[in-house]
Structure 1
Amino acid sequence: MARTAGSHSDITGPRVRETALKLFAQHGYAAVSMRQIAKDVGVQAGALYNYTPDKQSLLFTLLKGHMDDLLDARSRQHQSSDAHARLEAFTRFHIRFHLERPEAVFISYMELRNLTAENFEVIEGLRRQYERELETILQSGRTKGVFDVQDTKIATLAIIAMLTGVNTWYRSGGRLSQDQVEMIYWDMVRKTVT
C-alpha cells in the first residue's frame, strides 16, 4: 500500500500514538474516533491504518508501551540489599516516573475496561510483574524483621494506589517541589510498613 504523500512512518507513527494518547486522556477512549485522530494528526482517516490496524490495537499499544517503559526504567535502577533503601528507591522512582507521564498514567487506569479480554490479560500481567517487585521488597523486609506488614499483597496495592494518586493533584510550580513530595510520600510509606 502506498504511503500518503508527505508522510513519513518514523514521524507519523509516533504522532498517531501521541495524538491518540492526548485525545483518549481528554475525551475517553469510547468518545474518540479514528477520524478525529486522523484529523488531529493531519492525515486522511484511511492513512491511519498504515500505522495501526484499529482503535483497539492503538489503545493496547499505548498501554503496553507505558508498561514496557515502566518495567525497563525500573530494571535499570540500582538495587540495594537494604529493605528500607529498596523501598525508598521504589517509592521515589514510582512518583518520578509517573509524574512525567500524566496522560499515559490516566489512560492506563481509566481505559483498562475498554481492552479486549486478551489485551487486558497482557496488560494485567505486566502490572502484576511491577507489583511483584514491590511485594518482594515488602516480603524481604518482613522476613528480616524490619517491616511489620500483615498482608504484603494488600500493602503492595495500597502503596501503589497511594503513590499513583500523586498524579491527580500534583502540579509543577505548585506549593511543593517534586523532591518535597517524594520525601513526604516516602515518610508515609515508611510509616505504613514499620
Structure 2
Amino acid sequence: MARTTGSHSDITGPRVRDAALRLFARHGFAAVSMRQIATEVGVQAGALYNYTPDKQTLLFELMRAHMVELLEAVHDDVGASALERLAHFVRFHIAFHHERPDAVFIAYMELRNLEPQNFAEIEALRSRYEAVLEDILRAGAESGTFDVADSKIATLAVIAMLTGVNTWFRTGGRLSLTAVQDQYWDMVRRMVGAAGGSV
C-alpha cells in the first residue's frame, strides 16, 4: 500500500499511535474509525495497515505500552518503612498519571473494548502494579503500622482514589500538584489507619 510522500515508519508509526491515543481519549474507541486516524496523521487510510493490522491491535498496544511504562517507572524501596513506602507510592502514582491523562483515560475506560486475550494480558500487567501497593499495605498491617482488614480491597480503593485526581486536577488551578499530593497522602494515611507524622 502506498505511503504519503515523506512518510517513514520510524516517524509515522509513533504519529499513528499518538493520533489514535488522542482520538480514542476524545471520542471513545468505538466512535473512531481508521479513516479518522489516517486523516489526523495525514496519510491515506490504507497506509495505516503498514503500521498496525487493525484498530483492536492499536488499542491493545497503546494500553500495553502505558502499563509497561508504569511498571518500569514505579519503584518500591522494600528496605524503607511501610509508611515511607506508601507515601512514595501515593506521590508517584499521582505525578505519573497526571503527565499522561489520555493514556490513563484509555487504560481505564476502554478495557471493555479489548478482545478476551488482549484483556487478559492487560489485566495481568495491572495486577503486577496493584501487587506493589498491596505488598506495602500487607507489610504495614503485619508491622502494626496500618489497620487494614483486607489488603486487596484497600489496594483497589487507594488506586481508584489516586487515579481520580486526573478527572479534576489542572495545572494552574487553585492547588499545585505538590499540594494535591500532600493532601491525598494525608487522606490515604488516614484511610489505612496510620498514625500521623511527616514523610
What is aligned with 2:196? Answer: none
> Within 1, Cα distance between the matches of 2:28 and 2:48?
19
What is aligned with 2:169? Answer: 170
CA contact (8 A) 2:2 2:47 kept: no
- Structure 2: tracts of 5 or more residues without a match: 194-199
What is aligned with 2:111? Answer: 112
- Structure 1: tracts of 5 or more residues without a match: none
Partner AA of 1:17 in structure 2: R
What is aligned with 2:124? Answer: 125
Deviation at 1:8, TM superposition (A): 1.1
SS in 2 for 1:165: helix
Root-mean-square deviation (CA, aligned residues, Å) is 1.2
Task: Determine whether 1:137 maps to 2:100.
Answer: no
CA contact (8 A) 2:133 2:155 kept: yes
SS in 1 for 2:121: helix
What is aligned with 2:30? Answer: 30
> Within 1, Cα distance between the matches of 2:5 and 2:19?
20
> Within 1, Cα distance between the matches of 2:79 and 2:172?
32
Deviation at 1:4, TM superposition (A): 4.1
Partner AA of 1:109 in structure 2: Y
Deviation at 1:38, TM superposition (A): 0.2
Task: Determine whether 1:40 maps to 2:40.
Answer: yes
> Within 2, Cα distance between the matches of 1:81 and 1:186?
17
What is aligned with 2:192? Answer: 193
Question: Normalising by the residue count of structure 1, what TM-score does the alignment of the two structures yield?
Answer: 0.96
> Within 1, Cα distance between the matches of 2:138 and 2:80?
13
- Any idea what the Cα deviations from partners look like across 1:82-109, whole Å, max 9, x if unmatched? 1000000000000000000000000111
Matching of residues 68-107 of structure 1 within 5 Å:
68-75=68-75, 78-107=77-106
Partner AA of 1:74 in structure 2: V
Deviation at 1:81, TM superposition (A): 2.1
Matched residues, number: 193
Question: Normalising by the residue count of structure 2, what TM-score does the alignment of the two structures yield?
Answer: 0.94
What is aligned with 1:64? Answer: 64
Structure 1 range deviating more: 120-129 or 78-87: 78-87
CA contact (8 A) 2:16 2:48 kept: yes
> Within 2, Cα distance between the matches of 1:147 and 1:164?
21
Task: Determine whether 1:20 maps to 2:20.
Answer: yes
Provide closer, same or farther for how the CA distance between residues 158 and 114 of structure 1 changes in structure 2, counting only shifts above 3 A: same
Deviation at 1:10, TM superposition (A): 1.1
Partner AA of 2:188 in structure 1: V
CA contact (8 A) 2:38 2:44 kept: yes
> Within 2, Cα distance between the matches of 1:107 and 1:188?
26
% identical aligned pairs: 67
